Chain A
Amino acid sequence: MKITRKDFLRLSGLGLLALAGRKAVRALSGWSFAQTSASAAKPIRWGMAFDLGKCRHKDGCNRCIQACHSTHNVPQFADRAHEIKWIWKEPFQNVFPAAQTDYTRDFYGSLPVLLACNHCDDPPCQDVCPVDATWRRDDGVVTIDFHRCIGCRYCMAACPYGSRSFNWQDPRPAIATVNPDFPTRTKGVVEKCNFCEERLAKGQGPACAESCEEKAIVFGDLEQPDSELRQLLRSRFAVQRKPELGTGPSVYYIV
């Protein structure tokens, strides 16, 4: 078995120290691993922006949610407790609790806002996973190995965005029509938005972005200065969810 430097760091127990050290160094100097490796090979960092104004054009439109959930065989459970969600809507005041005031709440508070996995630059779910079943890929997608997951739900406790769902029961009976090209999941594993990595592999964009007629969902490479996404982030004011936690979300909200 070949042991790379990364493996060694992890296995030698210095991993924890190294991780803490890396975070400290990052905090002090703004230096990041992604940036240093940038010179070696041009990296991709997939990202997304939700244009909230455009998203509100059509009342009650759920096309992106339907597109995602049918593409990925996401089951529909009536019981809220056992819901599986990859992309969904919540009232503005729950998504951005710090961005509302007593006087703006009337207008903004209850407006629906899209949510999904933030595909963090430094995902807490990856750090806590005891079996390496979830990790940030080199292209920025935070992914899950459903074969590896033991169902301890530590990642659900660690995710500060509530992006992860657990299969409390067999999801199959709750899937209306199964898309044969994507696996369903089994009971006892965690799942979430995968940025349509299976479509990215084929050169396609995410199903949600593709399905949106209003073009309210913009997907692209955050490392590419002239990408549509970066141009949008340059020209409009955009925020991330809970940026103060240092997780570095790749999902932006144009308010």
Chain B
Amino acid sequence: MLMFKNTLTRSRRYWLWIASLLFVILAGSLCYVLQLIHGLVVTGLSRDVSWGLYIAQFTFFVGIAASAVMVVLPYYLHDYQQFGRLTLLGELLAVTAVTMCILFIFVDLGQPSRIFNIVLHPQPQSVMFWDMIALGGYLLMNAVIAAVTLIAQRQHVPVPGWIKPVIILSIPWAISIHTVTAFLYSGLPGRSYWLTAILAPRFLASAFASGPALLILLCLALRKLTGFDAGREAIQKLAVIVTYALAINIFLILAEVFTAFYSEIPAHEEHFEYLFIGLNGDYRLVPWMWLSVLLSWVALALLLVPRWRANIPRLAVACAAIFISIWLDKGLGLIVGGMVPSPLGAVTRYVPTLPESTIVLGIWAVGALMITVFYKITLSIWKEN
């Protein structure tokens, strides 16, 4: 309650931002009501492409959530003091991202009123059960860690000792959420695009590139809007982390491409052909996938040269490029590419509809609202100190 007061500090621009987010959330909710009434027929999904934008967004944001570990680990395990403040911002980003993930799963359900069947009839042989445990636990842990840290900082007392084991546990837990999410796909026998042991490592690499890239962008935005400076050294260190993760991600993708095309096994080639060349006259995703490739290469070039990386505008461009590139790869190509061609060889077009996209935007707005409120509270407390 007291903390909430900190968000109510007046500023015209701030309220305009909040109002527009609430407007988008309202639009998304209305579209969801439409989906509730008519069913998932209002989306662009079909018998062949039965998962689409919702599940892809879920996957992407699990990555964003997991990436908090890239600030938590150096700070708590290596005592890297520069990440002191970033750690809290990262944990709050994780809380937001997991909440978005849960919402994306929820809107994807055909019978949302039965969602508690997952708890009433738990099925440990289903990876989705473990994903629920992983995500729920991670949300709880990060919410508790962030709240305890904030309260301690507000009262000028050190954080209680019992929180340390929770923080340490959250590190492998972060790895687990994205690993389990990859296992959702990589254990399915009929989907060659996902049936690869490096799906989980690939997910982690792309997460550790896109998540910290987003955190850098958020820090740069905070500096511009509020004057809060995360510190030059901290930002540069994050940039190095992003560089390594991006390089590893590009390497893993190339390894996939090599295996598919050198082996020339049709079932493995087809999905890459669909995404990067086009199949049966459907070229819809081709430009987007190449844009993703191009952006990641440009970003890698910008980041590899230390002098360029130190230049803040250039760093911002690189981070934005990475975020968009990985969003295209994971938030679009991964799911649709795995579903097309179908087990019966059908190439089915998937185009998200307006209600579907509005629902997705609504959830993004929920995330933006959460992060705004969280960071506002945090910065107000830091300002008071």
- Chain A residues within CB distance 8 Å of chain B: 10-16, 19, 80-83, 85, 90, 93-95, 97, 115, 124, 127-133, 148-154, 156-162, 165-170, 187-190, 242, 245-247
Contact = CB atoms under 8 A, between A and B. Distances in A.
A93 B346 CA distance: 11
Contacts of A156: 50
Given A130-B123, A162-B343, A168 B45 contact: yes
Nearest to A170: B39
B189 A247 contact: yes
B126 interface: yes
B273 to A, nearest CB: 15
A8 to B, nearest CB: 11
B77 interface: no
A167 B190 contact: no
A80 B45 CA distance: 11
A67 to B, nearest CB: 22
A94 B344 contact: yes
A148 B266 contact: no
A131 B189 contact: no
A130 B189 contact: no
Nearest to A97: B345
Contacts of B125: 10, 15-16, 19, 127
Contact of A94 (B111, B120, B123, B345): B345
A150 B117 contact: yes
Contacts of B121: 131-132, 148
A188 B39 contact: yes
A99 B345 CA distance: 14
Nearest to B129: A130
Contacts of A247: 189
Given A124-B188, A131-B118, A13 B124 contact: yes
Q: Which of B38, B40, B41, B125 has the most CB of A within 10 A?
A: B125
Interface in B73-91: none
A158 B128 CA distance: 12
A130 B190 contact: no
B122 interface: yes
Nearest to B118: A130
Contact of A169 (B38, B188, B266, B343): B38
A128 B41 contact: no
B269 interface: no
B114 A242 contact: no
Given A148-B121, A188-B40, A247-B189, A16 B130 contact: yes
Contacts of A16: 124-125, 130
Nearest to A14: B124
Contact of A131 (B50, B108, B117, B348): B117
Contacts of A83: 47
B218 interface: no
Given A94-B344, A150-B109, A151-B111, A168 B40 contact: yes
